[in-house]
Structure formats: structure tokens, C-alpha cells
Structure 1
Amino acid sequence: MKRVAAVLAGAAFFALAGCSGMVLGKAEPVAQTGSALPSGSAVPENPSEQQVPGEGVPKVEHPIDTTRSSRLPCTALTARQITNLLGDAAPATPGLDRPGGPACYWGGDAAHGNASVDVKFPDIDKLGLTSVYQAAGGAYGFFRPLDPVNGYPIAAYGDRDTRSIGECHVALGVSDQQTVDISARQSQKNIGKKDPCDSARGIAEMVLSNIREG
């Protein structure tokens, strides 16, 4: 399933806008620590009958139940974390009826240099990262597995590579059937200072800690 269209409908990406240590360093290529399925692979017509994880997709060894978190998506990040990420406080905008699943959005305005963070709990299917891997080379012209987050697999994806403009989407596998997706946009002044997918992975680490504790 093509998740990017649903993400873009909420105008969500990410950016670290100021003193956060996550913006230090030069942009680097995204690490490739996994393998995608053959280019152009498509999700079956009846995904519910497909075995997960699919071929080449990393298994989630310690699944997390995100039912509660998906009902309260704005608890995925704390107010302090958002302030550190965006350089200033930003109100949380929940979207329980957003296309693709419940989500929460922060920032995106001039006060934050157009930097923004969006966290989504996809409910499109029950394929988890398998859905993302299968769209690699097809719906997702951009796809890169990243280093796992505390043992949980994660991949950057998109219909195109938007890192040069400071944007990145990542899907964090929290079970074989479920991901948490983070979309990120960097502020204009931070574009080029760090790969935005590395920054999005850092946000995923925060989200993972919060949903495990919650």
C-alpha cells in the first residue's frame, strides 16, 4: 500500500530547528543494512492471507502492542521532546481520522522555520514492514533500510528521494503486522547539515521509548 500519499495529505515531515544535538554533523548517505524485495513487487490483492514477515523483511522479535498509543497518538512524543526537536514549544495537532491511520502533527509554521514532525499509526493493512518492502522499486522509488532502533527494524521510504530538501519518512516495525511511521521536515537553516533520515530515525527512537513505557 502506498503510505506516502496518506502522509502527504497531513503535510507532515520533520525538522530539528535549533540547538538540538541531532542537527550536528554533515549529511551522510543513509545506511543500508537490509535488503529489499525485487523491484516492482506488489502487495497481494488479499493481504490478510499473506505470511509476515515477507521474504527479506526483518522479523520483529519483541512485538509491542500499540493499541493504546494509536488511540492517543499525541503521546508518542512529549512536549519537552518537541521543544528540543523544533527549537520551541509547538502545539500537538491530533488526527484520529487521518487517511491511513491515527496521527499527530507538530510544527510546520514560520515560527519553527517550517520544521515539522508527524507520527502515524498506520491501519491500512496488517503487513507491517512487509508492505513497505514490497513497494520498494514500485510505489516507493526511494527505499533504504536503516540501522535498527534498539533492535526494532526501520526503513526510510517515499515515492521519491526528498532528503535534499530536508524531508524523510521512516517506518518503524513494532510487530510483524504493525509499524509506526514518522515523517520529518528540517528547518531551512538545517538542511544539508545532517541526513534527515538519520534525524527521523532519532525521533523514532524517542517514539519507541515512549510507546513502550506507555
Structure 2
Amino acid sequence: MRPTTTILTIATLATVALVGGCSEQKTGKPSPTNAPSSAALPSDGAPAVTNPIANTAAIETDPCTAVPAAEIETIGGKIDGSRIEPMTMGKGCTWSFADGPSTVNAGLVTGNKQGLSTLYAQKARGGLTTFKPVDPIDGYPAVIYANGGEGKGTCTLAVGVRDDLVYTVIPLLSSDHPMLADPCGMATKIAAAAIKNLKGA
């Protein structure tokens, strides 16, 4: 059912945001982070973003404008709507597919000021259950990762659009979706479309 899928998508994005920007906390006072300043980025072995995209304000405000609905449909099939999902670390856009309770959510994680370096640091500390650098997307470094919750039909892709900013794409596909076996392929195509539009902004 679609409501269940929506809840799972939001929960997954919350995990993405937390992995991307928060340190572990104990009872009482929050523990300080050892995150590098933007001047020190990239760090922890993360690749540099050699052609950073500076003009991201419009998509930060309305993430659904990053990829037109027609492009989403070309990639993943007919959609029956989209909505902005407010998150603690930025806004995401959720597109709901017409065939079955499948969704894809994407957006800039503005609350993570260390970009891909945060994920590389998490990997070094053993904090991720999946970490796989993949081929650059339109020249921008990318990582498939998870902090639990891996499963058929889902994928979490983060693309560094600046050293201090990532764009994430998270498909959550049901068993009847034609791209069930390749959610990361869908995520890659959507990220490529978003980067193309960001560069043209």
C-alpha cells in the first residue's frame, strides 16, 4: 500500500540525513563532532569535486524542480504525483509511481556541510553497512551507501556536487516495478538528470 511505502521512504531519508551530518550522542550533552571545516575539504580520502555547482538555491527550496516529471517518467515509468518532504537536513522531493506503491526521493542534503567526506569518515570508523564508490556521474564523484536497511528494490546514492554538498537519490521500488532489479541504475539516471539541470541553473 502506498502509505507504507511513503513512511519507509521518509524513514530512509532520515537515516541518510543523520549519517550525513551528526555525530553519535550519549545521554546528557551532545558529543562534539570532529568534522572538518569546509576549508579543509575534501578529507578522509574523499575525492574532490573539480567542477563545483555554486547555484543550488532554487533546488534547495523546491527539490522537485531538479528533475522534470517527464524525465522521471522516461527513467522509471508513469508517476501519479510528487511532493516536497521537509527533512531535518534539507528538503527532498518524492515522486510516486502510478504502477504499485513505488517511490523515488531525491534532494540536496544541505544540513551536511562536509559533503562526501562525511561518508568516507563514517566508512573509516566502520559506521556504514554498505559503502561502494561508483563511476563519476557526469564528472561528479558518487557513492552507494547504507547504514542498514539494504534490500531488494532500494538503493541510496550520494553525489558530490560541491566538496560541502551532496545530492542523494533513494528509490524504493515494489515487486511489480520494472526496475526492481536495478534501483541503483534508476538512481544514477535521476542523479545525472538533476546534475544536468543544476549545471544549467
TM range (shorter): 0.7 to 0.9
Q: What is the 5 A alignment of 1:57-136?
A: 57-65=46-54, 66-95=56-85, 97-107=86-96, 111-136=98-123
Q: Deviations over 1:149-201 (max 9, x none)?
A: 11100001111362x41100111100101111111123313478643223211
**Greater relative contact order structure (CA < 8 Å, 6+ sep):** 1
Q: What is the 5 A alignment of 1:135-214?
A: 135-136=122-123, 138-160=126-148, 162=150, 164-190=151-177, 194-214=181-201
The 2-side partners of 1:78 and 1:12 are apart by 23
Which residue of structure 2 aligns with residue 27 of structure 1?
A: none
Letter in 1 for 2:88: P
Aligned residues between the structures:
177
Task: Pick the structure with more strand per residue.
Answer: 2
Which residue of structure 2 aligns with residue 4 of structure 1?
A: none
The 1-side partners of 2:8 and 2:79 are apart by 23
The 1-side partners of 2:133 and 2:198 are apart by 22
The 1-side partners of 2:122 and 2:36 are apart by 17
The 1-side partners of 2:58 and 2:181 are apart by 33
Determine if contact 2:135/2:141 at 8 Å carries over to the other structure: yes
Structure 1: segments with no counterpart, 5+ residues: 1-6, 14-41
Distance 1:61 1:122, change over 3 A: same
The 2-side partners of 1:175 and 1:62 are apart by 8
RMSD: 2.8
Structure 2: segments with no counterpart, 5+ residues: 1-6, 14-23, 25-31
